[in-house]
Amino acid sequence: MKSVKSDFLCLSEWTAPQLDAILTLTAKLKAQHKAGEAQPLLAGKTLGMIFEKSSTRTRVSFEVGMFQLGGQAIFLSAADSQIGRGEPIKDTARVLSRYVDAIAIRTYSQTSVAELASYATVPVINALTDSYHPCQLMADLFTVQECKGSYSDQVYCWIGDGNNMANSWINAAAVFGFELRVATPVGYEPDPWVIERAVQRGARLTFTNDPLEAARGANVLNTDVWASMGQEQEQQQRIKDFAGFQINDATLGVAASDALVLHCLPAHRGEEISDAVIEGPHSVVFDEAENRLHVQKAILARLLGAA
Q: Which residues are catalytic?
A: 106, 133, 136, 224, 264, 292
Q: Is 133 annotated as a binding residue?
A: yes
Q: Is 235 annotated as a binding residue?
A: no
Q: Is 281 annotated as a binding residue?
A: no
Q: Which of 193, 50, 198, 18 is nearest to 117 (CA)?
A: 50
The whole-angstrom separation of Cα 196 and Cα 217 is: 26
The count of other CB atoms within 10 Å of the CB of residue 115 is 17
Q: Which of 204, 150, 205 is nearest to 183 (CA)?
A: 205
Q: Which of 252, 180, 163 is nearest to 216 (CA)?
A: 252
Q: Is 106 annotated as a binding residue?
A: yes
First to last CA, the chain: 26
Q: What is the DSSP string of 55-116?
A: -SHHHHHHHHHHHHTT-EEEEEEGGGSGGGGT--HHHHHHHHTTT-SEEEEE-S-HHHHHHH
Q: Is 134 annotated as a binding residue?
A: yes
Q: Is 136 annotated as a binding residue?
A: yes
Q: Is 56 annotated as a binding residue?
A: yes
Q: Is 135 annotated as a binding residue?
A: yes
For residue 46, what are the contacts with CB-CB under 8 A and spacing of at least 6?
66, 71, 72, 73, 74, 99, 100, 101, 102
Q: Is 40 annotated as a binding residue?
A: no
Residue 263 per-residue DSSP state: E
Q: Is 57 annotated as a binding residue?
A: yes
Q: Is 262 annotated as a binding residue?
A: no
Q: Is 121 annotated as a binding residue?
A: no
The whole-angstrom separation of Cα 278 and Cα 269 is: 8
Q: Is 197 annotated as a binding residue?
A: no
**Feature table: binding site for carbamoyl phosphate:** 55-58, 82, 106, 133-136, 264-265, 292
**Feature table: binding site for L-ornithine:** 164, 224, 228-229
**Feature table: binding site:** 55-58, 82, 106, 133-136, 164, 224, 228-229, 264-265, 292
